[in-house]
Chain A
Amino acid sequence: MSALNNPVVAVIVSLIISVGYFVFVDHYLMDMQGLDFWYLFRN
């Protein structure tokens, strides 16, 4: 737990969790509607 209180570690861990979570939300919720979130990148 003390390692997490290191600002650099905390920023990296927070970024990984937050970015991962929002990418998951975007992809999953679009997929649930039958839509492709990655449409632009695939075309």
Chain B
Amino acid sequence: MGLLAGKRVFSIMALCMMVSLLLLPIVVALPSLAIGEEAPAGDAAKKDGDKVEKGRDVYYKTEGIVVGAPAPKTVDGPRDYPRYNFESRVLLWFANQQHLYYGSFVLAVPIFCMIIEFMGVVTKDKALAKRYDQLAYDFIKISLTAYSLTAILGGILIFTFLTLYPAFFSYLSGIFRPVMHIYALMFVAESGTLYIYYYGWDKMKEGFLKWIHLSMSVILNIIGTLLMFLANSWIGFMMSPAGVDEQGRYLGNIWHVIHTALWNPLNLHRILGNMAFGGGVVAAYAAYKFLASKTEEDRAHYDWMGYIAMALGVAFLIPLPFAGYWLMREVYAYRQQMGITLMGGLLAWLFIIQATMIGILFLSTNYYLWQAMGRMRGAEKYQRYIKYLVFILACGYMVFITPHTMVMTPAELKAMGGQQHPVLGNYGVMSAKNGGINVIITTTVLSFVWYMRGNKVSTVSWAKFGNIFMGIFFACAYFNIIFLAVYGYYIPANVRVGLSVPQVATTLSCLFFMFALNSVMMKGAKQLGPIEWGKISARSQYALIMLATAFTWMMGLMGYIRSSVRLFWHVNEIMRDNSPWAYTHTVGFAANMISFNVLFFWITILFVFWLGSLGAKKVPVESKAGIPGGVPQPAASH
């Protein structure tokens, strides 16, 4: 009893320490705000009796006292752009991308841990609860090694900035000076919390202590998310600066600098993207372990792990295109020219590649789900309909990736009769593309619904009506999406642009209503047979690896597009990039560079996985003992 009380006190102390760590940056920041350190120039000017210089915020249009130096006017030379015998931008690109990959991974995995640990705590089935707990532990174990690598890559990134872009880095760190130390302290808080969370796992595995442990994961994720928001504010400032005047002089309001026009869309997009990416990487890890497994039990465990990771990843992948729409909409609202450069100008072809990758992600997900139906008895009834889903997906995909215009030789141009193909050219516009992607997502939702009811027969009295209603609702949703896509061709652009909102709402209606209805219908449903975890084709695991690789590639691509849209600006319209590399690379070069980054990431993450396997903690014997036939219990629940 005394030991338990001691543990409780220790746990509460640990939790309090973490909360203190979380609040530490704010507390440290308070004195500087209180004594007005943010406005030294203004104060100095007042003391000297000089006239206070005021500037107008380039975005918020408010007046403020100038407290910072103007953005430096750089010149190409060793002072502003020292270099090795290599393109500095490529070196920075590499360091940045690797740091982002690992940063995304270590921010996403603790969120998964939190969800899975919570599922373990609330699950009444003890064997299943242990499995969830072990899974969450496996997840955090993977992220621990990756976390060290993230910190090392962050250091490399800062040194790359300092060495190759000193003038720019000096300006940016000057602007964000009031929050730079907060970022660093948050990082310390994140590390401390992560280590206590990981090493306290076994000591806090039951009862009240487990809840304390779970609370630590919540704090860990709050710190991680705040860290990401701060990092996002830097790129938001570079794309859509605020809080400075037209010369780039800081006007004393740090919130304006952080809260730029694109900050919130970037935050949302990155959270969802990180989660989908993290899910993909863990699913690929599970797939690799599945393929390398020698026993039925291991195969069953890693099959289940891959499914959970994939399901979590896809849950965040589905709303990701909508977050992307919001980001693009805000980009257009901020600077129309920037939006045109992205979607209809210099970078438009990269969006075609992006569409291809998004399509691959959804096709891989659907393929995995169809393959996964093979491990449950009763799901055969859906097999004969899969070909129709393939047809729908293929149509949606082909429309989605059709370019607006093609790069052609004069002879090809003449043969086709113009820049646009007389038939296919119609599919190169947003109206058709919105229809295409919404059809793809709705089909993915349908595949999920089929998977969830694969081995079940509803026993509710209104089952027949429920099934018919679901079928008709999906059919009407498809009709509405396609109707809106076609309707867009017949109305003016200013009205057409609004059609994407009901299209998205239609897809989301299918997602939420049909998932909810299906769950109600399947409550207490008759089981035709258990899900036989581990009895899935090897092809499905390659689909998971494909999913993760495609996501990594797409992240690299989107990062490049987002960064390139600034063209020849370090900070858009404020600080010009005068280095010899202030031009946009060719699509081929960018694709090679992205592929190199992807390859490097996957080689190093394999190393991380290998390191993690060195200290592998075996699944507790008692948790396996309760599993009939070595097949894990979550079989009945997805």
Please pick, from A7, A18, A36, A39, the residue contacting B464 in the complex, using a CB distance under 8 A.
Answer: A7
B476 to chain A, nearest CB (A): 4
Q: Are A40 and B462 within 8 A (Cβ)?
A: no
A10 to B465, CA, bound (A): 5
A-B pairs with beta carbons under 8 A, tally: 76
Q: Are A25 and B502 within 8 A (Cβ)?
A: yes
A30 to B188, CA, bound (A): 47
Query: Which chain B residues lie closer than 8 Å to A15 at the CB level?
Result: 472, 476
Q: Is the interface of A mostly helix, strand, loop or mixed?
A: helix
A12 to chain B, nearest CB (A): 10
Q: Are B491 and A21 within 8 A (Cβ)?
A: no
| Residue on A nearest B460 in the bound complex, by CB | A1
Q: Are B462 and A1 within 8 A (Cβ)?
A: yes
B152 touches A (CB below 8 Å): no
Q: Are B462 and A4 within 8 A (Cβ)?
A: yes
B6 touches A (CB below 8 Å): no
A1-43: which residues lie under 8 A (CB-CB) from chain B?
1-2, 4-5, 7, 10-11, 13-15, 17-19, 21-22, 25-26, 29-30, 32-33, 35-37, 39-40
Query: Which chain A residues lie closer than 8 Å to B477 at the CB level?
Result: 18, 22
Given known contacts A30-B498, A30-B502, A40-B490, A22 and B476 CB-to-CB distance under 8 angstroms = yes
B468 touches A (CB below 8 Å): yes
Q: Are A10 and B461 within 8 A (Cβ)?
A: no
B410 to chain A, nearest CB (A): 39
Query: Which chain B residues lie closer than 8 Å to A25 at the CB level?
Result: 480, 502, 505-506, 509
A32 to B10, CA, bound (A): 54
A1 to B463, CA, bound (A): 10
Query: Which chain B residues lie closer than 8 Å to A2 at the CB level?
Result: 461
Please pick, from A18, A32, A35, the residue contacting B472 in the complex, using a CB distance under 8 A.
Answer: A18
A15 to chain B, nearest CB (A): 6
B: interface residue count bin:
20 to 34
B495 touches A (CB below 8 Å): yes
B490 to chain A, nearest CB (A): 5
B461 to chain A, nearest CB (A): 6
- Please, what's the 1-or-0 string for B469-506, where 1 marks a CB less than 8 Å from any CB in chain A? 10111011100100010010011101100110110011
Given known contacts A4-B462, A13-B465, A33-B498, A40 and B491 CB-to-CB distance under 8 angstroms = yes
Q: Are A21 and B509 within 8 A (Cβ)?
A: yes
| Residue on A nearest B501 in the bound complex, by CB | A29
Q: Are A33 and B501 within 8 A (Cβ)?
A: yes
Given known contacts A4-B462, A22-B477, A30-B501, A14 and B509 CB-to-CB distance under 8 angstroms = no
Q: Are B501 and A4 within 8 A (Cβ)?
A: no
Query: Which chain A residues lie closer than 8 Å to B464 at the CB level?
Result: 4-5, 7, 10
Query: Which chain B residues lie closer than 8 Å to A19 at the CB level?
Result: 476
Query: Which chain A residues lie closer than 8 Å to B494 at the CB level?
Result: 35
Q: Are B473 and A29 within 8 A (Cβ)?
A: no
B443-477: which residues lie under 8 A (CB-CB) from chain A?
461-465, 468-469, 471-473, 475-477
A25 to B500, CA, bound (A): 12
Q: Are B495 and A26 within 8 A (Cβ)?
A: no
B146-196: which residues lie under 8 A (CB-CB) from chain A?
none
A10 to B470, CA, bound (A): 11
A40 to B502, CA, bound (A): 17
Beyond A13-B465, A32-B501, A33-B498, list 16 extra A-B contacts (CB 8 Å): A1-B461, A7-B468, A10-B468, A14-B465, A14-B468, A17-B473, A18-B477, A22-B477, A25-B509, A26-B480, A30-B499, A35-B498, A37-B502, A39-B491, A40-B487, A40-B490
